[in-house]
């Protein structure tokens, strides 16, 4: 049996933050609204950081901005992977060249001994 997440309206979140701004403690408001104190901290931070844009959508963080940030992180990870793989390829190529030189020099030594 799964428990669905509760969804709160933008108005509810703003009213809760207003109570905090009027001097009510986090614990008091959390108990009264049956919301975890960490959620209240997050709501207050979102309202402070994003103002009128805060709490847009259905629980998703600022739609396009969060999607853009996600894609930028993905591009960064892929760039790091490409750099890593280039260094690995370069290392393998260097090892092959060294191995080829070692084999040539050892084969010329055996030819000279005969």
Place of tokens 């629980």: 59
Whether residues 39 and 81 fall in one domain: no
For residue 2, is it within any domain? no
Range of the domain at 19: 7-61
Tell me, what's the pLDDT at 1? Answer: 55
> What does the block give as tokens for 19?
């109570």
- How many structural domains is the chain composed of? 2
The pTM for the full model equals 0.48
DSSP 55: T
Task: State the first-to-last Cα distance of the chain, in angstroms, to the nearest integer.
Answer: 82
Whether residues 71 and 42 fall in one domain: no
Tell me, what's the pLDDT at 69? Answer: 85
Place of tokens 């040539």: 104
pLDDT tens digits for range 96-107: 999 988 888 776
Band (70; pLDDT cuts 50, 70, 90): confident
For residue 83, is it within any domain? yes
Q: What is the CATH number of the domain that holds 40?
A: 1.10.10.10
């Amino acid at each position: 049996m799964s428990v669905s997440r509760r969804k709160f309206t933008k108005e509810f979140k703003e009213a809760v933050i207003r109570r905090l701004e009027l001097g009510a403690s986090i614990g008091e408001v959390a108990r009264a609204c049956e919301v975890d104190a960490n959620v209240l901290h997050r709501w207050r931070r979102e309202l402070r950081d994003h103002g009128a844009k805060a709490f847009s959508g259905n629980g998703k963080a600022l739609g396009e901005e969060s999607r853009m940030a996600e894609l930028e992180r993905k591009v960064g990870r892929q760039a790091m992977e490409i750099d890593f793989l280039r260094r690995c390829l370069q290392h393998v190529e260097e090892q092959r060249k060294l191995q080829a030189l070692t084999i040539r020099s050892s084969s010329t030594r055996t030819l000279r001994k005969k």
